[in-house]
Amino acid sequence: MADSEREAPSACKRLKQDTIFEKFKTDFKDLGRLKSAYKSLCFDRRNPLIAQEIISCNAATGYGISFSRASCETRPYTQEIYPFGSIFTDGIELLNDFFTKTDYVPDNMTFRLLLAKLIHFLMDEKSHAAIRKIQRTDVSETELMIILAEHFFSRLSLSNTYSMDHFAKYKGNLLCKCGSCKPESLAANFDDTSIGNRDCWHGSLDILLGSTESFIHVASVEEELSPGEIAPFEVKLKNVEERRFRSQTLAQVIAFSFLQKASHPSLENFLIPCMAATKKELKIYFYDCKYDILLESRGIPLLVEIPGSNSQPLNFEAIIAAWLVLNYKYLCSGPFDSLLKAPKANFFKHAEPCLEIYEKELLYQHVGEQTTILDYGFLDITKPKFVWPSNLSCKPVDSENEY
């Protein structure tokens, strides 16, 4: 953020008296592990971002494909590997100052609030305990969404508000595993989170921060038969690497990047991230719809083992990564020179017949509701599908008026 946007000194001076920075200095006892996690996440080649090439996808079939049926296969450009911190130079500068300057408090009000959010969460033992708690118990998809939205992502995002997919409201208990959150306040956080266009990729996002600031795709629960048994069912959580889950996440981040570019053309860059989350780990994808760049991180565990200790604290790498990603509008510096010169993801080529829809006709909310309902197994009211004649442009239907 430019220096010119700094707030008036009097306001900054007043805010410097806030206790959070002082409290961190006196109460936080794990600074060594925090600094080490920061260096490891942002600069270590074991935490790379790897550029991807799309080798096949169903982004432009001529009829709508919901995210749950999306297919997107990629392969890595093995020469195009970058440190995680390379696209977050603004965030790195802020963290460097924080770790190296004595009593550092940013003058810039936005950066100050961002840093306060991070510090507050680092010391938020109640939320840490809630995230640890779900490791030891079975959780439904809805319960996982609630605990991650309420006790992790919304605590680190500058946007205090969040929405969860309203279809998930009917798929599980509206109880937070922390044991304290009120069901009625949780219920108010479910809403229509659909994006896309009925004639291409579309569907609902699991967790949406702020007013379409960023989103998270949460791993759903699959029920599988135990070997040799008809019942009971064994509940098994998907892995972030699981092929179908990965395809869905890629389709979502690509559609979201186009939507962000159309909705917020003044953004400094369009390298838009999303997080795929299970109760065990995070994985982060970025897509830039201006330069056709697709990046993928490694899986980052939510907890870490401490040698010689039975405790499993939260992984500071996951906390810093989530903080950088959720606040990418302020902390992500976008693609740099060598990334711009790297081979492309080739989404433009694969989506060519419908690229104009992705660029100009994506919607937020009220998107493809019938298909979405079908995917959730409630109603069979899909309309017949048809194939676009190849010599016609892909003109979308007006989904808001159609229903």
Q: Tokens at residue 401, please?
A: 């008026």
234: its two tokens: 């064994």
Choose between 155 and 350: whose C-beta lies nearer to Zn ion. 155
CA distance 58 to 71: 6
CB of 346 to Zn ion, least distance (A): 42
Compute the 3-state secondary structure of the chain and give helix, strand, coil in percent, each to the nearest 5.
40, 20, 40
Shortest separation between residue 128's beta carbon and Zn ion, angstroms: 12
Residue 32 amino acid letter: G
Helix (H, G, I), strand (E, B) or coil at 386: coil
What is the smallest separation between the CB atom of 14 and Zn ion, expressed in angstroms?
32
Q: 243 near 260, Cβ under 8 Å?
A: no
Q: How far apart are CA 158 and CA 140, in angstroms?
A: 27
Residue number, 41 or 176, with CB nearest to Zn ion: 176
Q: How far, in Å, are 312, 365, 399 from residue 65 at the CA level?
A: 41, 16, 14
By CB under 5 A, residue 175 contacts Zn ion? no
CB of 37 to Zn ion, least distance (A): 25
DSSP run (H or E) holding 55 = strand 48-57
CB of 284 to Zn ion, least distance (A): 24
Is 176 a residue that touches Zn ion (CB under 5 A)?
Answer: yes
Q: Which listed range, 170-178, 244-252, 296-304, 377-385, lies at the site for Zn ion (CB under 5 A)? A: 170-178
Residue 282: in which H helix or E strand, if any? strand 281-288
Size of the site for Zn ion (CB under 5 A): 4
Instruction: Identify the residue among 20, 123, 178, 267 touching Zn ion (CB under 5 A).
Output: 178
Site for Zn ion in 114-153 (CB under 5 A): 150
Stretch that binds Zn ion, among 55-63, 173-181, 210-218, 393-401 (CB under 5 A): 173-181
Using CA atoms, how far apart are residues 322 and 215, in angstroms rounded to an integer? Answer: 11
CB of 126 to Zn ion, least distance (A): 8
Q: State which residue, 176 or 254, has the beta carbon closest to Zn ion.
A: 176
In the range 179-198, which residues lie near Zn ion by CB under 5 A?
181
Instruction: Give one DSSP letter per residue of 207-236, joined into a string.
Output: EEETTTTEEEEEPPEEEEEPTT-SSSEEEE
Q: Which two tokens stand for residue 336?
A: 């740099």
Closest approach of Cβ 10 to Zn ion, in Å? 37
Based on CB atoms, which residue is closest to Zn ion, 187 or 225?
187
Locus of tokens 């909310």: 365
Q: How many helices (H) and strands (E) does the chain have?
A: 17, 16
208 binds Zn ion (CB under 5 A): no
Q: Interface mask (CB under 5 A) for Zn ion, residues 56-95, using x and -?
A: ----------------------------------------
CB of 177 to Zn ion, least distance (A): 7
Q: Residues interacting with Zn ion, by CB under 5 A? A: 150, 176, 178, 181
